[in-house]
Structure formats: C-alpha cells, structure tokens
Structure 1
Amino acid sequence: MAGRTFSWSGHTRRLAGAVSVGALTLAVVAVPGVDAAESDDSGAEFRKTRPVAPGVKHRQFEMVDDAGDRVEGDVLTVDLSHPTVSLDLLYPGVVAAREPVSTLADEQGAVAGVNGDFFDIGGTPEIDGTNAPVGPAVATGVDLTAAVPMGQRWGPPLAPETTTLETVFGAGDDGAQIGELSLEGTITTPSGTTEVDALNQYAIEEGGVGAFTSDWGTADRRRATCGSDTRRNDPCVDETIEVVVTGGVVTEVHDEPRSGAIADDTIVLVGREGGVQDLDGLEPGDAVEVTYQMVADDGAAFDFAIGGTPILRDGEPLAGLQEGVRAPRTSAGASADGSTVYLVTVDGRQEDSAGISIQDMAELMVDFGADAGVNLDGGGSTTMVARERHADSVSVVNSPSGGQERPVPNGVGVFSEVAD
C-alpha cells in the first residue's frame, strides 16, 4: 500500500449430478466441450467448465434449498501461485463513480471479475448519492479510500461481532487474505497538528476532518457532512469548512464543501462540527502538510484490497449470520495459505434461481475450499464476468437480477499476463 504526503502536494445449465452441501444440495453442471468431472479438496465433485486463462477456472452450479427451490450460481477459482495470475481493484479511475463490471474489466484488461463493495447509492434526503464505496479500497498499491462510520453503511445485517467497516478482502506478496485496514494520517498547520479522520469517503465521522484527493472524482463533497455516526439519514450539519491546499499552501477557504474535480497536486480538507475548529483560522498562503496511509491490523501489505463484510474465518461461518433471507449474493474467499481465491455469485429474485442466505453462502464457501471470506454487494449488483476462450472482451456469465448489469463503483478483477 502507498499512502501520500501532500507537503506540496438467462443462460442454460444442464444438471449432471448432485452432492450434499450442508442444508443445500449442490448440483454438478456439465458444459459441452469441457473437461470431465474433478474433485475439489472439499470432496465435492464438480464438472470443470472451462479455463478462462492459465490458473483461472470458471464453473457453474445449481442447488436445491430447504424449501425445494432451485438456486443457480457461478464460481471463479483463481490460483495465485500461478506466475501469470494476479488480482487488482476494478474501478472507474475515481472513487465516486460507477460503471458496469464488464466495462471496468475490459477497460483494465481483466480476464474475469465480480462486483465489489456496497456503496452510497441513495445518498440522504438532502444530498444525492455519491456512488462511493462503504469500505476501504486499495488499487495497485495506492490507498484510494477508507471506511465510512458504521451508522452510514449500506447493506444487509452484519454478524454480531462486526463493529467496524474496515474489513477487506485483498492480496499482496503473501497471497490473498482477509484483514482490517484503518486510516492513519496527520494535518500539520501553523497552529498545530490534527488527525485525518477520513479519506475520499462519502461520510466523515462527527467532529472529524476528511481529506479528498484527485482520486475522489467530481461528486458533491457536502455529502460527507450529512448524516451522523448512528444514522445515515440524519440532516446535514450547518457547521462546516472546506480548505483547498495546493502545492502545500492554502489557496482557498470556504464555509461549505463543494463539488468538482481536484487537481493532482491538490488536497481538499473538509471539516464538520468540531473538525471546523481544527481548520479554523487557516488563510490563503498558510503552509499545510497532509500525510496519510492505510494500515493493516496485522502488518500485512495489501497491493489490492476491497471492502467486504466478514462471514467466514478459520474455515467456519461466523456466529449469528443472517439466515432465511434469500437474495442474489456475491462473495470472495481465500484458502488457508492464501494461494487460491474463490469468487462466487449466486443468482436470485428470478424464476430459475431463488437466491441464497448469508449463512448458506458462508457454508457454500467452506465447501468450495475457502478458509476465510467476505460478503460483497448483492441484489441487483451481483455480477460475474469472464472471457470466453480467445475472446478480446469479457461476457456476463451469471444472470443479474435486474435483467442487466448494474453500474458499480468497484469490483475484484482477475488478471492474466497470458490469456488462454
């Protein structure tokens, strides 16, 4: 990860067989012209569908749930020990924007991928949504954004032990893993030093100061001063300030945050409530230094990271996961040694697929071989893409519940130096 110092700066599936997966029945799907059945480490037998690229495999499966309803899904198995395979963030080039997963994958040259984090799709009653993600994001070693306050989150109920939105699924030199990424940073002004409480986030904690860079995009920064630490729809606050720092020098001061692009050598500081006092008194010409970085709780280095809700640890689903509520879902997981990644989508809200609960998704991830995993955005966002053999672009391989792809702010991209 790299912080910054601003000192101046509807498909058809054929049922072939079935094996038990907890309370579900997993049906093996045969696809014409592909390899014969093989066994996973889990002991479940699957028909290998097709290689997407060396070290990258796509499969389709079916399940019958406790109610006797059919469920369809897809899994990408990614071998990170393969020298040509890697993961990185799919995103539109800025934090506060969104595009379909297929567009993101093709623009960045990915051979496969899934949608990513929950995001600010609805905004607040006073301010439109910014489309920025809920949790942290790191792309190609660059820290893009940190986690919003818990009360400002979007998404389904969390496990009881989840108290922050700093959990990420990511990868680095040690392979793929689940971890926690928190923001550390300082703002040094002529009158003293204060902390950076937010980085390119659609919500700043009460009394905090947030930093916005060119990675944010053009979305309205006023959104960051709306809502509270406990309620996303609380009113926007009146006590705000925005300080524009270019080349390490204050160039503008405003009493309300604005929108618009931010230059590469510029950082915009936004304060709310008590954070206003931390920036109060700054005038054009004052020297200001801003430093920040995302820090992993265990000291791990993430070259890529995306926010997600933890559902699986040490090969066991977390206690208290939501049961019974079936929906389209996306998840990402890793083997115990971090060498194998499992990206899974389950279709829902349609005649051929009823969806899956978060509890059942965690159990399914265990059966596939994941030791740790997170739940990503689901519903209409659930999308998996992959290249056909010799194709120059990806295709959507699942069935999005809205009948077409929903634009999203980020995703998990699978990259191969040599595509099959």
Structure 2
Amino acid sequence: MARHTQRAGRLRTACTLVTTLGTLAGAALLGAAPAGGAVADDTRAGSRIAPGVEYRYFDIPTPHGTARAHVLDVDLRDPHTSVGLLYPGKVAARAPVSALADGVGAVGGINGDFFNISETQHPGVEATGASVGPAIANGRALKAAVPDGQRFGPAMPPGVTTEAVIGVGYDRRARLDNLALDGKIRTPESRLPLGGLNQYALPVGSVGAFTHDWGSVSRVRATCGTDTSRGAPCSTDTHEVTIRDGRVVAAADTPGSGPIEPGSTVLVGREAGAQELRKLSEGDRVRVSHRLVAARSHVPFRFALGGYPVLRGGVPLPGLDPTTSAVRTAAGMSADGRRLFLLSLDGSPEFRTGLTIAEVADTLREMGAQDGFSLDGGGSSTLVSSTSTLVARAPGADAVTVRNNPSGGAERPVPNGIGVFSRS
C-alpha cells in the first residue's frame, strides 16, 4: 500500500489528490463514504476488504469542481483472490450491483458495460436491457457485440469498436482486447455466417442466434435500426426458426419472446438473412456453432465484458473528450496484468461534476495503471441518476454495501459488472 500512496500523492493539476484532508475521528468504513467533508486518513491509505483486496477513496480537485474516487485495488497474485462477471443469469436482464454481488458471494464489485436502456425511437418495441459489447462468464461466451452504430453510451475514441473488452484470462492476468464472433449455420444445402449471438441489434441482412442465456425478453429489437443508425426503423422483412436437437421445430415471420429451452437455439434473420431462413422447413437438419475470438490474447478469457479503452501502455488514447464531465466508472491494470484497479466516482451533490474521460485516463495512470478501460456511467454532470456503483463488503459482514453514493440516491439496475471474489 505504501507504493500506491506514493503514486496517488503524485496526482497533479486537475487530478491532484487532496493531501490536506483532516482525519475523521472514529470514522466508520462499513457504509458509503461521507458525502462531503474530510476523508478518514486510514481510508485514504486503504482498508483491507479481503486477502489481496483493498478499498479506499480520495478527492480529486479539477477546474470544474472536486470529484471523489472510490477504488477497489485487487492483487491478482494472491491465490485467494479472483474476479469474474456479475450478471443476473440472463443477458437481457438487469439488477443492482449490490444484489448481483451478494447473489454470488462477491466481496466487492462495480457496474460494467453500457446497455440498451430505452427505445424511444421505436414505439412499441421493448428495451432489452442487454449490454453493448461481448461478455464471457466462467470461460463461456454469453453474447457478442452489436454493430458500432447501434451502441448506447458516449462516443468512443477513434479506431475503437464495440468488440473492445476488458477481462482476465486463465493465467490470472487482466488485459484489454477485442472479441469477434466466429459463428456458422450449417444445413445440408448451405453454409451461412452467424451475424450475432444474444445481442439486442443484428447487422443488416444477417442471422443471429439466441440461446437459453438470452432470457425471456422479446427478440424484435434485434431487427431494428441499422449498422450505422440506432434509431432507424425496424426491419419489415424478418423471420425466425427454432432449432432443437439439431432440427427445425418451429418458424415465424415475427421474432418472438419468452424463455428459450436449454439446448435450443432460435435463429432470427433480417432482410437477406430472413430470406435464407425461409428456405428451411420443419424437420430440416441445422447445426449452429459459435465462439468469441480474441484479436491479441493467446490465453482464453475466463471473464470479459465490454466498454472502451482510454489508456494503453501508459498513454491516453487520442481523441478522448477533455470537456464533458460526468460521474464515471472505469478499470485499470498494471503492466503485468497482476493488479487491477476498479474505480467509480461519487454521485453526491458535492462531487457530481465528476471527471472528463481524459481526466479518468490520467487518474488511472497516476494510480499505477498502464492500461485503462471506461465502463458505464453518467452522461453528464447534471444527470439525476447515474449507473456508476461500487460495492464492498466489510470484513465479517454478510453483505456488501454501496460505497460511492450513486447519483439520485439509489442504484440503477445494470446487465453486468465486475465482481471481486475471495476464497477466504
């Protein structure tokens, strides 16, 4: 912890760590940080949550106000400690981070990817709540990325796509990468590429697969918008077929809803994809295969989720927004991937100005991160409710508590997050 305190002490200018904070006598570390006022010295230095896991918070003065950062510092070298995907058991579902963490016994966690939160541009179409980017849980691919033009969230840096992920491999090292879908649909007469996996938006002219992992939410949203416009009208040329035990058992011209049986796959096609699916008849043999392929990693991911990179090799990515401040969530990692920083800003009125995404990258770098990744957060400093949430369990407690005072005073349900686990 001493070396981290030294790093944090070097935060300068807009990201200078307050060093003149007074000590709160007898300050409790069990709940959220006080909204305003001084920060306890022992909390700034670090509070041990579990072996290899520490929690702390500190203030960051900027030209547009003071932000408060809450951090889980995770040492992946500790054999008792691991991280994994938090999610409600289905892709198209949401729950508060605290409920997700307590449901699987995590000692801490933060919210994750941006997600399909509303459908005001498509009246009568149900928002799915599903996340934008790829997701892997316990080594199993849950979903792939939507087209770039269909994402929710702020603009990404130049050259970044929705396939960007942060994750941890089976080698227990955190890393950034891109995960692309590699999938095929095989019939006795044809071979078709798979255009999507459990995602709320499919590429124009493609066929996507929905499995038991999707949930019960309607699949209509997958056929709305285009590759470049989220708000474009829904397709009028759609078709879906249900595959069970390798054969077509049902078909419909409109994507349906309801749970998908384990072992079954629903194929949804739009435009050219729909025309291909109409060639299938009940009883036809169909085989569907899919996997997520990493662009750079040779070690398979044990868990991964989407967002977008803001820091690589200790250098902020070009094109990061230096003007729009918000209550944000981010993650960073050391050069060797053995140390993970999970950061969420405070949403209390005193700190709601937050940080710009450029300031987030600088903060992660000053904390010791070589690579950094932006997760979902508030869209502006005036946002009433923000997704940003960090939870941690006090030693001996049975449940986590929210530490960062979410904007609006309550947690917003999210589709996924990063959980911290301890075998102790």
Alignment correspondent of 2:388: 382
Whole-Å Cα distance in 2 between the matches of residues 172 and 70 of structure 1? 36
Alignment correspondent of 2:45: 48
- 1:60 paired to 2:66: no
Matches within 5 A, 1:11-410: 19-28=10-19, 32=26, 47-67=44-64, 69-123=65-119, 124-126=121-123, 127-162=125-160, 164-174=161-171, 175-298=173-296, 299-348=298-347, 350-379=349-378, 380-410=386-416
Maintained 8 Å contact 1:247/1:266:
yes
Look up the SS of the partner of 1:275 in the other structure: helix
Structure 1 residue 93: deviation in Å?
0.1
CA deviations on 1:98-131 (whole Å, 9 max, x unpaired) are: 0000000000111000000000001342312100
In structure 2, the CA distance between the partners of 1:215 and 1:206, relative to structure 1 (3 Å rule), is: same
Alignment correspondent of 1:12: none
Q: Name the stretch that deviates more: 350-359 or 92-101.
A: 350-359
CA deviations on 1:395-415 (whole Å, 9 max, x unpaired) are: 000010121000000000001
Maintained 8 Å contact 2:244/2:263:
yes
Maintained 8 Å contact 1:34/1:50:
no
Whole-Å Cα distance in 1 between the matches of residues 104 and 183 of structure 2? 30
Maintained 8 Å contact 1:169/1:333:
no
CA deviations on 1:369-415 (whole Å, 9 max, x unpaired) are: 11111100001100000001100110000010121000000000001
Look up the SS of the partner of 1:359 in the other structure: helix
Alignment correspondent of 1:412: 418
Runs (5+) with no aligned partner, structure 1? 1-16, 36-44
Maintained 8 Å contact 1:327/1:349:
no
Maintained 8 Å contact 1:185/1:292:
yes
Whole-Å Cα distance in 1 between the matches of residues 28 and 229 of structure 2? 51
Whole-Å Cα distance in 1 between the matches of residues 347 and 401 of structure 2? 19
Whole-Å Cα distance in 2 between the matches of residues 46 and 232 of structure 1? 43
Alignment correspondent of 2:35: none
Runs (5+) with no aligned partner, structure 2? 1-7, 30-41, 379-385
In the alignment, residue 163 of structure 2 is paired with which amino acid? E
Whole-Å Cα distance in 2 between the matches of residues 102 and 335 of structure 1? 26
Structure 1 residue 70: deviation in Å?
1.7
In the alignment, residue 362 of structure 1 is paired with which amino acid? A
Whole-Å Cα distance in 1 between the matches of residues 292 and 263 of structure 2? 20
Look up the SS of the partner of 1:63 in the other structure: strand
Maintained 8 Å contact 1:348/1:356:
no
Structure 1 residue 22: deviation in Å?
4.6
Structure 1 residue 349: deviation in Å?
6.8
CA deviations on 1:180-238 (whole Å, 9 max, x unpaired) are: 10100110012211011100000000001100000000111010000111111111111
Look up the SS of the partner of 1:58 in the other structure: strand
Structure 1 residue 19: deviation in Å?
4.9
In structure 2, the CA distance between the partners of 1:321 and 1:349, relative to structure 1 (3 Å rule), is: farther
Identity of aligned residues (%): 47
Maintained 8 Å contact 1:80/1:340:
yes
In the alignment, residue 198 of structure 2 is paired with which amino acid? N
Whole-Å Cα distance in 1 between the matches of residues 191 and 66 of structure 2? 58
Q: Name the stretch that deviates more: 347-356 or 196-205.
A: 347-356
In the alignment, residue 18 of structure 2 is paired with which amino acid? A
Maintained 8 Å contact 2:170/2:299:
no
Whole-Å Cα distance in 2 between the matches of residues 371 and 63 of structure 1? 20
In the alignment, residue 27 of structure 1 is paired with which amino acid? V
Look up the SS of the partner of 1:184 in the other structure: strand
What CA RMSD, in Å, does the superposition of the two structures yield over aligned residues? Answer: 1.8
